[in-house]
């Protein structure tokens, strides 16, 4: 269970970094990058939602907390790394 929580936390970080790249690509009107990242973000989000929802209710809440924590950390790093909004 600890490994699964860690992987969901890591997935939250990665997906948030991808969302940041996607948002930047849209803002800069990079059509192909935005198109690819849109599909990738949608696929990964639905895959992760399936994992989160398919767990029992008690494990599910811990999974959701781990994923949300990863999103939080991902947002922080996305805004601090050079490919964030100011790059």
Q: In a structure prediction context, what are the per-residue pLDDT tens digits for the chain, which is 87 residues long?
A: 789 889 999 999 999 999 988 998 999 999 999 999 999 999 998 988 887 777 666 777 888 899 999 999 998 888 887 654 555
Q: What is the 3-state composition of the chain as percent helix, strand, coil, each rounded to the nearest 5? A: 85, 0, 15
Structural domain contains residue 85: no
Contacts of 38 (CB under 8 A, 6+ apart): 22
| Tokens standing for residue 50 | 């399936």
Structural domain contains residue 87: no
| Domain assignment of residue 55, given as a range | 2-80
Structural domain contains residue 86: no
Domains in the chain: how many in total? Answer: 1
Contacts of 60 (CB under 8 A, 6+ apart): 52, 53
Give this prediction's pTM.
Answer: 0.80
Dist CA 72 CA 16 (whole Å): 8
Structural domain contains residue 59: yes
Structural domain contains residue 37: yes
């Amino acid at each position: 269970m600890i490994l699964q929580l860690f992987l969901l936390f890591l997935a939250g970080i990665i997906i948030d970094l991808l969302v940041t790249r996607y948002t930047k690509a849209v803002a800069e009107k990079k059509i192909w990058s935005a198109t690819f990242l849109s599909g990738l973000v949608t696929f990964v989000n639905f895959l992760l939602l399936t994992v989160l929802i398919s767990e029992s209710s008690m494990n599910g809440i811990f999974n959701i907390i781990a994923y949300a924590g990863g999103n939080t950390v991902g947002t922080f790093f996305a805004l601090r790394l050079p490919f964030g909004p100011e790059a």
